[in-house]
Structure formats: C-alpha cells, structure tokens
Amino acid sequence: MNQIGVQKLVELAAVLACQTKQVTLPDGATLMIRPILKEDAPRLQALFSRLSPESVYARFLVTRKELPDAEARCLTEIDYQTRMTLLATVPGADGEDVVAIACYILLEEPGVAEAAFIIEDAYQERRLGTLMMKQLAAYAQQQGIHTFQFTLHYYNVRMQRLIRHCGSVLTTTRCGGMLEIRALLAEGESGT
C-alpha cells in the first residue's frame, strides 16, 4: 500500500474513533452512533424494508418498496469530509441493525451542505433525531460547514421541529408541497 493509501486509512481510523459514541435515549434504550462503512449497504436495505410507506415518502419524496443495491452502495461511498453519514445501530441478528441515518453532502456554496435524516418508525419521537443532528452538526462544523439545507415535504412536521430545535432557521422557501429550509448550525455543538 502506498503512502497516500496509508494516510487515508489513518484518517478513517481517526474519524471512526472520534465519531463512534454510545448514546442512551430518555426512555433508557442504548444505541451506538457511528460513521457509515462500505459494508453497511445491506444494513441500509434492511432498515429500508422496515420503514412504513409514510416514512419512506417523507425522506425520499417518492414511494418505493426497496432500496436498490446501487443506491445502497452509493450511500456508503463517502469521503467523510464533503460527504458524511452517521448511523444509529442496535444489536441485531447479524451483529447490528441500523435504525437511523443522518447525512450531509457539501453543496457548491461554501459552508453549506444538504442534510437528510431517516429514522425507523419504532425510534421516532424518542429524541434520537436530536442526538444525531447534534453529532452530525458538530462534525460538519469541524469540516467548515456552518449551514444545513433541508428539502422536505411541508407535512413533515417532525423534521421541521427537529431543524428548529437544533439550529437557527435562516430561510424557509415553499414551492408547491415542498419546503427548503436553511438552518445555521448552533455554535459550539458538542456532539453529545
């Protein structure tokens, strides 16, 4: 392996070590929040299969019954800087089950990233989104990102609440049934 390859492995190991955290929800449930890995594609597909049609539509803005292999692989191919994805996991039959995803992709506008979340129905309304938002925002700030942009359906009030709880809304634009919300990340997020 060449010097660049070794350096990338060292950087990945550092990201994994710093961003892997055990969290406890207010109801006592314990989960692990960690960065996504390439081998997580089948776990993403398993999560997708457990989502209600309403949750699928709220996140992907389309109805579908499965997450295709190519899209699952694409979601795991990130560089941990311009593209970052955190997973929330619980112990499962194959080691761990993914129950939530929080990700961002850097946009062309400096300091702004498109962010998106999906949380398994059984884990919604349990403060997991807040924990993941804080950890993702703290990591994004370390990468020079100061604003998250969200595109969501206007009826997705849970996500609107989460955005307002975790940052200062700069703009909200409505086009038909869609909202584009830009939120300034809270100063000094600790990621806890």
CATH for 3-185 (3.30.2040.10, 2.160.20.10, 3.40.630.30, 3.40.50.1820): 3.40.630.30
Residue 130: its pLDDT value, please?
93
Angle at 13 between CA 7 and CA 19, to 5 degrees: 135
For 25, 130, 133, the CA distances from 190, given in Å and listed in that order, are: 17, 12, 11
118 forms beta bridges with 101
Report pLDDT digits (tens) over 19-33. Answer: 889 999 999 999 999
Report pLDDT digits (tens) over 106-122. Answer: 999 999 999 999 999 99
Question: Is the pTM above the cut of 0.85?
Answer: yes
Structure tokens at 189: 């997020």
